[in-house]
A and B are shown apart, each in its own frame.
Chain A
Amino acid sequence: MPTPTRGWGWAAHLREGGTTPWTSWSEPATPFTTDHLPGAEMLELLRRLNETGPSDVGRVDALLRTSPPGRGRRDLPLLGDTETRTYGPLPVDPATLSPRELLRAASVRLAEDLLDTVETTPVPRPRRWRRRRPKVEPDQQRFPYRLVGSPWLTLPIREELERQGRLPGGKGFIVYVLGGPLDEVAAGAWKFRTFTNRVNPWNIWIRDAQWRGWLGPRADLPRIARWWADRVGKGRVEIVTDPALLPGLLGVDSVPGPWPISAEGNEIARVIGQVLSVRTDLETQRTLLVDQLRPRLEKLELLVPDAREVGVPAESFDWVETQARAQRDALVEAGYALHGDPDLLLPSGKATQGPDERRALALALSLMAGRS
């Protein structure tokens, strides 16, 4: 017969929906499973989840059977429990765990929730007939286009145009390179990767970019413009620095802005992506994050206040400004047609921080609670 411990008592309390902090808990209990007592991270995560409302027992048990993924300390013992080992990680008071550690602990369940949707999503029936070529709209003939630049900015616009039947290309299309303040474009490059690939946290990403001396292909407008100029000729490549001018150039009334996802939403997508990168292929990972997670996050963003925008931190700002001046000068010297003031490519400094870890955890808990 296993000895009752305070740790198992707290775990049983949390399993039943309790919210008492560890330091206020005193009742011992015998283990309710043959598994090892879950780590302090999972137990504290469950306590915080319980504070948002009741959860299904099956989901709670699944949560207690997981460990924080990847690298980093985990399965931490509870401070003051009947731990007799003289080795292993030091016991902790779960209340002192950082939101980052709890978010990492949450990432496995969040990833598994998304993976569950793969099995329930009906597989589309194969088409019996080849899809008809979309009808060419008159506007497509009048405003043939290709829209390139940071995909965080351009993808929603391209999707909306395609939804309206305005496919890219067409006879004599113009390539519009959509630019913007380089700090925002750089943030957009990172944000896009959080939904589409594996990527480091924002602070490390921007530090590494500075170390490397390059913000990467998605934030290098002269490179993008040059690539297209080599293929279609410089005369058909135009730089747009003022997004307000874009509707007129494309022949539409308005264009959508980027996905309304906060820095914290991006951080959640990033940590879930780390798990999905092992659990599934890249294509499925992107589909799950963009098509399943993103709409849920967009709904939740309004419910959790104090959203942050991703911004370049002060220690990297001068370097980004130097990069921006170089990009502006390269585009002007190359002689591309410009729509908007080229100085709009210089950093705006509107945001200077990365995600707020506390808010990211709050968003993650709302996701786990199924509030979206």
Chain B
Amino acid sequence: METGRRVLLHVGTPKTGTSYLQDVLFHNRESLAEQGVHYFADRFDAHFLAALDLMDLPWGGIEEEATGAWDALAEKVRAVENGTVIISHEILASASWQQAKHALDSLGDSEIHIMLSARDLARQIPAEWQENVKHRSVVTYAEFLEEIRDPAREGRIGSWFWGVQELPDILDRWTQGIAPERVHLITVPPPGSPSTLLWERFSTAFGLDDLTIDFEGIDRGNPSLGVPEAALLREINLAVVPVLEPADYRPFVREFLAHRTLAKRRDSARLALSPSILPWVESLSESWVKALSGRGYDVVGGLEELLVPADLAGKPFVDPDTISSREVLDAGVATIDALLQEAIRLRKSEARLEDEVAGLRAELDHARSLVPKQRALHGLERRWWGRAILKVYRFVRR
């Protein structure tokens, strides 16, 4: 017997605008709750931690903060009597059959809907290589393509890639006992579509259309890199990964260098699918669409959008493994420029903080020097002879 609780469980896939959706939900969580939609998160990555916990997945040390996170989230969900609860993280796509079952069972007697956002493989494959490079990897594009083409999927890259990208398999794992009409497949619009269309699809699928949402200050999410920028980042990884701890890599390399510096360069060539694997990707995409059609899922967008775009074959391909040094150098110079600007900003900030510290020290010294005087004054004021001495002292000073 289901309660009046509806759970929208968004399980992937990566690189489909999920960060933007999660950012909107996180920043609006209080007003959404007032409107009957709950996004339980006390920090922006709360559902990421829950996913790590659910899947026993170590993640560069972050997993230490994830202990018990899934069960805690599920408990909050079960406590909701009426309303909608949204859970969203793209790495949930890699959950095993047993882990997905455990997750579904843990949500109690909810009306569960499985949400999966998906994008065509022609864009997902290059995007996943970039994502690897943004996560400390030094794998070349060619090596990456070779790994994902290994049918045995024995390597780390191949097993992860298919775990989070193989749409029919993800849906099989996550829809155990869920009716097809409660499975919502949201396709990412093709290149050239209006920039708001993906959000409109999310909004429709998640039932957010009629709700009041504040978009002020929402980050557009996980930006992609150009080909020279990605090639440069890989070279940087070769130099820094051995010496930088993950906790330092995240803010300095991924956030500052990749997202805030290199992703801002929009004029360079965008990474595309290597022409050599185009026929294989076309055939695979067609087989997926065939497997998904007829299942009765609610498709927001269109299954045909998951096919490789017909005009891709004629487009130029710039290979990040063989790109000219000149182009990488340009990206390198832009990076040095950004680093210098940052160093200057930090130096100014340091000088300002030093001034503040000096001011505070002087105030502290002054306050300390007052302590004995204050004590003496209070001591004298408590006694009749003390008060007499103070009277004489003040008379003399006058």
Contact = CB atoms under 8 A, between A and B. Distances in A.
A87 B166 contact: yes
B51 to A, nearest CB: 11
Nearest to A211: B242
Nearest to B63: A278
Interface stretch (A51-59, A63-71, A337-345): A63-71
B334 interface: no
Interface string A6-30: 0000000000000000000000000
B302 to A, nearest CB: 20
Contact of A281 (B67, B98, B152): B67
Interface in B29-87: 52-53, 55-58, 61, 63-64, 66-67
B287 interface: yes
A282 interface: yes
Contacts of B291: 85-87
A90 B151 contact: yes
A67 B96 contact: yes
Nearest to B69: A278
Interface in B85-112: 96-99, 101
Interface stretch (A72-80, A123-131, A303-311): A72-80
B176 interface: yes
B66 A278 contact: yes
A254 interface: no
A275 to B, nearest CB: 5
A279 interface: yes
B335 interface: no
A280 interface: yes
Contacts, number: 94
Contacts of B243: 212
A278 B57 contact: yes
Contacts of A87: 166, 168-169, 287-288, 291
B156 interface: yes
B280 to A, nearest CB: 14
A208 B242 contact: yes
Contact of A73 (B98, B153, B172, B287): B153
A277 interface: yes
Contacts of A116: none
A212 B154 CA distance: 27
Interface string B163-193: 1001011001100110000000000000000
Contacts of A212: 242-243
B132 interface: no
A69 B53 CA distance: 10
B160 interface: yes
A71 B101 contact: no
Contact of B53 (A67, A68, A72, A278): A278
Contact of B172 (A65, A88, A274): A88
Contact of B56 (A35, A88, A275): A275
Interface string A236-249: 00000000000000
Interface residues of B, number: 38
A89 B153 contact: yes
A69 B172 contact: no
A211 B242 CA distance: 7
A72 B156 contact: yes
A278 B67 contact: yes
Contacts of A278: 52-53, 56-58, 63, 66-67
Nearest to A198: B58
A356 B55 CA distance: 27
B59 to A, nearest CB: 9
Nearest to A34: B177
Contact of B58 (A34, A88, A90, A277): A277
Given A72-B156, A90-B153, A208-B242, A67 B52 contact: no
Contact of B166 (A72, A88, A90): A88
Contacts of B166: 87-88
A71 B159 contact: yes
Contact of B159 (A69, A72, A108, A213): A72
B144 interface: no
- Which size class do A's interface residues fall under? 35 or more
Contact of B57 (A65, A69, A281): A69
B101 to A, nearest CB: 6
Contacts of B52: 278
B64 to A, nearest CB: 6
B103 to A, nearest CB: 12
Interface string A121-156: 000000000000000000000000000000000000
A36 interface: yes
A261 B384 CA distance: 79
B20 interface: no
A90 B153 CA distance: 8
B98 A277 contact: no
Contacts of A72: 156, 159
Contacts of A198: 58, 61
Interface string B117-157: 00000000000000000000000000000000001111010
A85 B172 contact: yes
B162 interface: yes
A44 to B, nearest CB: 16
Contacts of A71: 57, 156, 159-160
A184 B159 CA distance: 35
Contacts of B177: 34
B259 to A, nearest CB: 24
A90 B152 contact: yes
Interface in B216-261: 242-243
A254 to B, nearest CB: 39
A65 B97 CA distance: 9
A34 B64 CA distance: 32
13 contacts: A38-B98, A67-B96, A72-B159, A73-B153, A73-B154, A74-B96, A85-B168, A85-B169, A88-B166, A88-B172, A198-B58, A208-B242, A281-B64
**A-B CB proximity, top 8 nearest:** A69-B56, A67-B96, A212-B242, A36-B97, A73-B159, A88-B169, A67-B98, A278-B63
Interface of B: 52-53, 55-58, 61, 63-64, 66-67, 96-99, 101, 151-154, 156, 158-160, 162-163, 166, 168-169, 172-173, 176-177, 242-243, 287-288, 291
Interface of A: 34-36, 38-39, 65-75, 85-90, 108, 198, 208, 211-213, 274-275, 277-282
